[in-house]
Structure 1
Amino acid sequence: MRFEGTSDYVATEDLTVAVNAAVTLERPLLVKGEPGTGKTELARQVATSLGLPIIEWHIKSTTRAQQGLYEYDAVSRLRDSQLGDERVHDVKNYIRKGKLWEAFVSQGKSVLLIDEIDKADIEFPNDLLQELDRMEFFVYETGETIRAATRPIVIITSNNEKELPDAFLRRCFFHYIRFPDMDVMKQIVEVHFPGIKQQLLTTALTQFYEIREQQGLKKKPSTSEVLDWLKLLLVEDLPPEDLRRDGASALPKLHGALLKNEQDVALFERLAFMARRQR
């Protein structure tokens, strides 16, 4: 069972090595990287490549670790007892299974995605240590232990919004997805827009990387944003020469796809103003 990438996802050699190492070690794969570098999509493509079902747990700031195991709906049980509902006699009717429970009892191997773990409270990763280590947990309300018959492939993503605890990091295989260079980005674009004209692609990507490297930029445009931008350029059928910027127009064409806040737009407007004054 080896991941080699898919026709829809360009995986670099070091990324495929990381995925396969995590699978071999039976450790969670912790993937970090800039937003838009394909961390979440990686889990889906690993599942597709290996022919496995995927279970996705998307973390929010209010998510608690217990929700990944199960939740006991005591309020519904109390209401049903007041109404004389026969369901009240079986506590299992009020246990809501979480994503880890789903993965543990899945028929055969599965891929479990824990997406953006750094959004949750700082204690969230520590609260899952034992369950991810032992692949089991105890349900107090029913007195049963849920064990994983087959250990799932666990992929955890983080945008580095918070530092993760050392005890949690020790249990993971770590990989940082670096932002793609020009050659890799061309491969990614070719997957999404096969047959795109090379002159347009080279001109657009050259401008894109110049924008990313601009000093003072608050939010660098990501892979997903350059794909949106290229889609617009193709729809508008703009020739490469129309993309070239000069001092009078420092903002790129259709810049709303790349620049996502007023500070960055103002930065390029100031650059254009300064360039005009120097003429």
Structure 2
Amino acid sequence: MKFTGTEKYVATDDLQMAVNAAIGIQRPLLIKGEPGTGKTMLAEEIAQGLGTRLITWHIKSTTKAQQGLYEYDAVSRLRDSQLGDDRVHDIGNYIVKGKLWEAFEADEQVVLLIDEIDKADIEFPNDLLQELDRMSFYVYETQQEVKAKQRPIVVITSNNEKELPDAFLRRCFFHYIAFPEHETMKEIVDVHFPGVQQELVRNALEIFFDVRKIPGLKKKPSTSELIDWLKLLMADELSAKALQEGDTSSALPPLYGALVKNEQDVHLLQKLAFMARRRA
């Protein structure tokens, strides 16, 4: 079975090839790209497209690799021993399984998403090398080896906040999700809003890509922001009408707060709009 995208996710030929290649050679698929380009959603849609379960491990700055395997809850065991609880005689009662353990013990092949790996400490990826390579790990407290029943499909996302170690990169199949071109973006919009007024989409996409081209923009609007903006435009008929009939070069886009996410970029748009009005 191969991944070909889903009804809700437009996957380019290059992306489909990357997903199926990573599955074929049994390597983790490392996905990079601008925030909002659908990296996390890709793992969800791979699971849906292949008809399997998704297990998600969201990484934070404080996350340690060991937490993905298991954690030993020594505090609870100490408390139970003080209360005379019989559970203390079995140390296995205090082993908390992590997301990798959950994926390894699944009877069927699952999709394991390690989301935003670059948020963690620089040593985090290297600490998972052996487990992801061998698909097994050892639980020292119970002297138990956990092996994957079915090798999970591992998808790892990164926003490029930190450089990942070379040793880790060598073990991954890498794909960069390029920002969608105009036609691909139109397909994505049509998937999210079937039957939407095409004139509105045409004008919205023109403004959206014009905003992305503005030099000096601190954060370019992404696919997710375009979807949010269109949703607001369709809900606000006056804004949609202004977008379709107005002179978009001489004023800020309606509901621009859905596209622009910081005050520096708002000031830049306001300055450009003011200069355009003076030239008119």
User: What TM-score results when the alignment is normalised by the length of structure 2?
Assistant: 0.97
Distance 2:195 2:90 in 1: 60
- Asked if the contact 2:199–2:244 (Cα under 8 Å) also holds between the matched residues in 1, the reply is no
Amino acid at match of 2:261: K
Deviation of the 1:184 alpha carbon = 0.4
Structure 1 counterpart SS, 2:248: coil
Amino acid at match of 2:71: E
Alignment of 1:1-279 (within 5 A): 1-237=1-237, 238-239=240-241, 240-242=243-245, 244-247=247-250, 249=251, 251-279=252-280
Distance 2:203 2:256 in 1: 15
Structure 1 counterpart SS, 2:3: coil
- Asked if the contact 2:115–2:156 (Cα under 8 Å) also holds between the matched residues in 1, the reply is yes
Q: Alignment identity in percent?
A: 68
Distance 2:260 2:108 in 1: 44
Amino acid at match of 1:155: V
- Asked if the contact 1:204–1:243 (Cα under 8 Å) also holds between the matched residues in 2, the reply is no
Distance 1:67 1:243 in 2: 54
Q: 1:274 to 1:8 in 2, by over 3 A?
A: same
**Unpaired runs of 5+ in structure 2?**
none
Q: 1:243 to 1:92 in 2, by over 3 A?
A: farther
Q: Deviations over 1:214-265 (max 9, x none)?
A: 0010110110000010011111122343454133x2x211001000111001
Deviation of the 1:277 alpha carbon = 3.7
Q: 1:181 to 1:244 in 2, by over 3 A?
A: farther
Structure 1 counterpart SS, 2:249: coil
**Unpaired runs of 5+ in structure 1?**
none
RMSD (Å), alpha carbons: 1.0
Distance 1:243 1:194 in 2: 25
Amino acid at match of 2:222: S
- How many pairs does the alignment contain? 277
Distance 1:272 1:42 in 2: 37
Amino acid at match of 1:60: K
- Asked if the contact 1:203–1:243 (Cα under 8 Å) also holds between the matched residues in 2, the reply is no
Amino acid at match of 2:76: S
Deviation of the 1:272 alpha carbon = 2.1
The runs of 4+ residues in structure 1 deviating greater than 4 Å are: none
- Asked if the contact 1:31–1:176 (Cα under 8 Å) also holds between the matched residues in 2, the reply is yes
Q: Deviations over 1:105-157 (max 9, x none)?
A: 00110000000000000000000000000000000000000000110000000
Distance 2:249 2:68 in 1: 53
Deviation of the 1:190 alpha carbon = 0.4
Q: Deviations over 1:30-88 (max 9, x none)?
A: 00000110000100100001111110000000000000000000011011111111000
Distance 1:155 1:242 in 2: 44
- Asked if the contact 1:65–1:127 (Cα under 8 Å) also holds between the matched residues in 2, the reply is yes
Amino acid at match of 1:276: R
